[in-house]
Structure 1
Amino acid sequence: MAKIISLFIYIVMFIPLMIIGVLFIVSGMIFPSRMNSLARLTSISVLKCLFVKVKINGKIPKNRSLIIMYNHSSFIDPFLFAYSSPGKTTGITAIENYKYPVFGGMLKRWNAIPIDRTNIETAKKSIEKGQQAFKDGYNVIILPEGTRTVTGKIKKFKKGGFHMAINSKAPILPVGSKGAFDFKPKNRWYIKPGVVELNIGKIIEPNQYDELGVNGLINEVRSQMKDLTGYKLEE
């Protein structure tokens, strides 16, 4: 049944989804100051077209800039991030995502920061851009696993985002996404419409960084994500 529903959604919703993407790109050019509202509205529209219901448990503070770290499990993750993050928001995303015509255009219009994981020097520059975005008052979304999980377990974390937090003295907010993997994991073609829960964790303040160090900070965020999602940690 899930496969039949998936075929229906893929066929019937393809054109509306493309139209939504193009409208976001064009409206973002006309109303750049309203980018975050447009991103949220677009994300709501995309998720509704895919029959995804989002439940947010907790609140992301609106009165301060944060580095928000999510676990990465599905192609719908970027829309979940834009849907849930208040205020000015950007994120660091794999440069490969820009090869998709409409989706890549949406990322550019959202001012997402591309990162090439195969090139250390350009990756460092992407991290520096993320630090500057935080200083400019943006929330910066980081996916510390780097790529989507294929097992459902939380993967080992890359260190770049944590160095960025330490260097810019930015507080980290872990958020656990539960249900996106069940909706559509990387290695399955069909989808299972349903509920995705976004569980907001506890902010880790910069004054804890000296005591924790990079590895301790990684362990703290992974531990929170495990508790927030109920998923196991990949060894």
Structure 2
Amino acid sequence: MLVFGGGCVRLALSRNACTLVYMSPRSIISTIIAALLWMLSGTVFLLLGSLYIVLSFVVKPRAIHQITRAICRILLLCAGQRLTINGRFPDVTSQAYIYVFNHTSMLDTFIMLAILPEFTGAVGKKEQFSVPIWGAILRRFGAVPLDRDNRAAAIASMDAVGRSFDEGLSLLVSPEGTRSLTGELGAFKKGPFHLAVRHQVPVIPTVIHGAFNSKRKGDWRLFPNRVEIEICRPICPAPSSLGDAVDGIQCAVRTEFIDRLERHK
């Protein structure tokens, strides 16, 4: 690494060539800050994540939801994230809901768990369950693994989640199914909306603004940032035929997301 005039030139060597990459002082500072945030938040995640796993063997995760919220808020604070919440969730004691959010960052799940007023069920890609510590947390939380490459297994997983509505348990899910590479809203899967119609459960769109700029997919850096969350009114499935009702509520929820995201630009 060579230093020139307040900036920095990183020497990148390959088998057949040598490339000089200029790094401005601002880039150097942001890289150092990102590394420090990872060190702090990573250490706290290991400690508090391990504590959560131990606690979940003693007390049911549903009974320690407030502790889960506090852990997620501490993690986000250590990652340099400040949350601003607009809107309020409805009374969660009367019925179950499906909470859906736009997925642009690995921080989204922590953001949602930090603000949700109740313990919820959850689904996640099966690959997440093999990640050290995080996979154990998901299993202890009671999350259901979803195999997107196996349609029959995916349907069985969603059916298992649907049965929890009978116990009054709400669901947290991203209708996109994966993180956006661009920060734009991706295509919606039909699974959550099939559940909403079949079990007549209202859907609450929760719009996250700014998390893409905090930690985007494909970039290791973590940037301190203010994240705004908009809580929308519940959208109820229409009492019509299954196909029409699923398409109807999916369209209504997507329109709500698009309107809120466009308004925030």
TM-score category of the 2 structures, normalised to the smaller one = over 0.9
2:204 pairs with one of 173, 187, 196? 173
Normalized per residue, the structure richer in helix is: 1
Residue deviations 1:9-44 (CA, integer Å, cap 9, x gap): 223443222111101111122121523222212211
**Inter-partner Cα distance in structure 1 for 2:232 and 2:250:** 14
**Structure with a larger share of its residues in strand:** 2
Structure of higher CA gyration radius: 2
Residue deviations 1:86-134, cap 9 Å, x none? 1231211111111111111111111111111111111011111121122
Q: What is the CA distance between 1:216 and its match in structure 2?
A: 2.4
Flag the 1:231–1:99 CA change in 2: closer, same or farther, 3 A. Answer: farther
- Counterpart of 1:147 in structure 2 is 178
Sequence identity (%): 29
For 1:72-91, list aligned pairs within 5 A: 72-91=103-122
CA distance in 1, matches of 2:66, 2:240: 33
Does the residue aligned with 1:101 lie in a helix, a strand or coil? coil
2:237 is aligned to 206
Superposition RMSD in Å: 1.9
Aligned residues: 232
Is the CA contact (8 Å cut-off) linking 2:238 and 2:245 kept in structure 1? no
Change (3 A) 1:108 1:209: farther
Please, which runs of 5 or more residues in structure 1 have no aligned partner?
A: none
- TM-score by length of structure 1 reads 0.92
Does structure 1 conserve the Cα–Cα contact (< 8 Å) formed by 2:201 and 2:237? yes
**Amino acid in the other structure paired with 1:224:** E
- Mapping of residues 61-140 of structure 1, within 5 Å: 61=90, 62-63=92-93, 64-140=95-171
Q: Distance in 2 between matches of 1:181 and 1:15?
A: 22
In the other structure, the counterpart of 1:217 is: 249
Runs of 4+ in structure 1 deviating by more than 4 angstroms, as ranges, are 208-212
Higher RCO (C-alpha 8 Å, min separation 6): 1
Partner of 2:11: none
Q: Partner of 1:158 in structure 2?
A: 189
Q: Counterparts of 2:263 and 2:72 in 1: how far apart (Å)?
A: 25
Mark the CA change 1:229 to 1:208 in structure 2 (over 3 Å): closer, same or farther: farther
Report the more deviating stretch, 136-145 or 206-215: 206-215
Q: Does 1:27 align with 2:59?
A: no
- What SS does structure 2 have at the residue aligned with 1:191? coil
- Contact residue 20 and residue 45 of structure 1 kept, 8 A: no
TM-score (norm 2): 0.82
- Aligned counterparts, 1:15-54, within 5 A: 15-32=43-60, 33-54=62-83
Q: Which ranges of structure 2 fall in alignment gaps of 5 or more residues?
A: 1-28
**1:9 alignment partner, one of 37, 40, 48:** 37
Distance of 2:235 and 2:189 partners within structure 1: 18
